[in-house]
């Protein structure tokens, strides 16, 4: 289920059903860091591409954007082309949607700053127009054109579509903790229907939405923007995209910030397991905070995190047997799966913890599931009309192409359940079954786990948050250790990602790097 949802509601980085390959959980043994290190050592390194541009790609690199009004004040939009298949550039194109907010001044323009919010599947255009282009620090916006490119298959760049609204509603209700072979069969059938829908919609594109291809597209965009180097801020999955770019084009790396980092050297199963542990770490922090408040429905001031977790799991079990009303116009009742997603969604930002307490109180004490359903809908990006964005579709499409499946059969999941439940007694079972969906994907994986070293690249700042739910802190340690020029910047706190989330220390270090090119000292810590 690797879904790297990022902050500000764009996605990174956790759809239990739609995503499966990249983010989810953690081994809870004390040796997990050393095990991750040995995994990285065993993985092959991503090889850089030749510095010279192949003749067949020259027309793509020589494009000039035809900027037009976006309908959003202050922003311009354009469309660029990239080859559908880089191994056969004559086989057709994909259209990439681009937006920018030009540098406002004062000061000398430093170039373009590409931004990606994560997912995979999060819209960079939506993120730039709603946040980065207007909410990034004024001094950064003064010196850079803030640019968003929806990766191939995402949002406005030939989006992959899989299910319509009613079918997605049914999908999100599917029981992700099957109790018997019948329920297991129902879950497998849901995964197959989802995959078949994606395959029917875009059979050719579905084989060409990998992160490597998206990174190569970014180099075409860089050239079209007239920049000799790529300056970039990637959050959550966006760190994997940015690191992949650095591995392919180390000599073209400008100022790269990778916030909420992923470890590219891990297999899908390992990533999913370690993300599960990450959510458990975040839930423990939430549990400790919850019981300090009189309105916590999961326990009193003397209740420990383990008991809080057991209380929540008992509530999930009750929902499994009997979903509760929500007052939804479409008659939807809150299922165990939707409640689980609602809780997971609130783990991304500690600012959502009060809202989660209120939603749990209503659900547990008043049988009113409206609040948890709203949290679940926001995670899936379901609108008031019952329509879904393509976030979950693109998420699965990219993840299932980037890595071989975490599991190939339900029996493999069953055997792995003890490890996942150890990693998270609350979420482990559901996240293990969520890791099965790529087994039925219509396009075979083209990628694999690999180290990214980017030898010769300029300094790259890798940011990790110690209690990040979706991208465990050890991943930032691993990625910064793999990158030959990695500089680890640590935020000691809660939530997913760190830049722009309230730490003056983090923001100052990143702003200085973006504006002056001076990275913080490797190992710098902020709180």
Active site residues: 236, 468, 496
Q: Cβ distance 221 to 249 under 8 Å?
A: no
Distance CA 471, CA 497 (A): 8
Distance CA 227, CA 126 (A): 23
At 256 the three-state DSSP class reads strand
Distance CA 341, CA 345 (A): 6
Distance CA 140, CA 257 (A): 13
Rg of the chain in Å (alpha carbons): 22
HSE-CB of 389 using CA atoms within 13 angstroms: 24
Length of the chain, in residues: 527
Cβ atoms < 10 Å from Cβ of 196: 15
Distance CA 421, CA 28 (A): 10
Distance CA 8, CA 123 (A): 12
Distance CA 347, CA 146 (A): 28
Distance CA 281, CA 284 (A): 5
CA angle 254, 457, 473 (to 5 degrees): 90
Which stretch of DSSP H or E encloses residue 274? helix 268-290
At 465 the three-state DSSP class reads strand
Q: Cβ distance 462 to 432 under 8 Å?
A: no
Q: What is the DSSP string of 73-127?
A: TT-EEEEEEEES-TTSGGG-EEEEEEEEE----SS---EEEEEE--BTT--HHHH
């Amino acid at each position: 289920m690797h879904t790297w949802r990022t902050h500000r509601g764009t996605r990174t980085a956790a759809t239990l059903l739609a995503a499966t390959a990249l983010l989810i959980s953690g081994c809870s043994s004390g040796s997990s860091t050393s095990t991750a290190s040995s995994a990285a050592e065993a993985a092959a390194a991503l090889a850089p591409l030749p510095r010279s541009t192949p003749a067949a790609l020259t027309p793509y690199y020589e494009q000039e954007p035809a900027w037009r009004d976006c309908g959003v004040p202050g922003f311009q939009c354009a469309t660029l082309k990239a080859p559908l298949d880089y191994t056969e550039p004559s086989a057709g194109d994909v259209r990439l949607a681009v937006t920018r907010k030009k540098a406002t001044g004062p000061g000398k323009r430093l170039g373009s700053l590409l931004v990606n919010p994560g997912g995979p599947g999060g819209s960079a255009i939506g993120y730039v127009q709603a946040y980065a282009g207007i909410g990034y620090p004024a001094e950064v916006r003064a010196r850079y054109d803030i640019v968003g490119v929806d990766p191939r298959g995402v949002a406005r760049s030939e989006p992959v579509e899989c299910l319509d609204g009613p079918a997605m509603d049914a999908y999100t209700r599917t029981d992700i903790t099957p109790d018997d072979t019948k329920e297991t069969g129902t879950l497998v059938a849901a995964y197959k229907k989802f995959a078949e829908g994606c395959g029917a919609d875009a059979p050719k594109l579905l084989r060409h939405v990998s992160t490597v291809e998206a990174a190569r597209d970014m180099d075409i965009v860089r050239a079209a923007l007239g920049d000799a180097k790529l300056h970039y801020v990637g959050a959550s999955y966006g760190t994997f995209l940015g690191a992949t770019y650095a591995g392919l084009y180390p000599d073209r790396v400008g100022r790269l910030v990778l916030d909420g980092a992923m470890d590219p050297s891990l297999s899908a199963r390992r990533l999913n397991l370690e993300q599960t542990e990450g959510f458990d770490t975040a839930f423990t922090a939430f549990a400790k905070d919850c019981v300090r408040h009189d309105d916590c429905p999961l326990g009193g001031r003397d209740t420990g995190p383990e008991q809080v977790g057991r209380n929540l799991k008992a509530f999930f079990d009750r929902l499994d047997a009997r979903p509760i009303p929500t007052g939804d116009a479409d008659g939807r009742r809150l299922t165990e799966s939707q409640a689980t997603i609602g809780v997971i969604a609130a783990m991304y930002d500690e600012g959502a913890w009060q809202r989660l307490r209120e939603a749990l109180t209503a659900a547990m004490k008043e049988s009113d599931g409206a609040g948890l359903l709203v949290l679940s809908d926001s995670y899936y990006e379901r609108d008031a009309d019952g329509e879904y964005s393509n976030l979950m579709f693109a998420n699965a499409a990219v993840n299932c192409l980037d890595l071989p499946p975490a599991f190939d059969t339900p029996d493999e999941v069953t055997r792995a359940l003890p490890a996942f439940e150890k990693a998270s007694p609350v979420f482990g079972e559901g996240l293990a079954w969520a890791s099965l969906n790529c087994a039925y994907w219509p396009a075979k994986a083209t990628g694999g786990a690999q180290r990214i070293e980017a030898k010769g690249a300029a300094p790259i700042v890798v940011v990790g948050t110690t209690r990040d739910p979706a991208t465990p802190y050890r991943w930032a340690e691993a990625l910064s250790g793999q990158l030959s020029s990695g500089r680890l910047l640590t935020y000691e706190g809660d939530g997913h990602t760190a830049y722009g989330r309230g730490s003056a220390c983090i923001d100052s270090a990143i702003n200085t790097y973006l504006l002056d090119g001076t990275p913080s000292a490797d190992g710098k810590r902020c709180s």
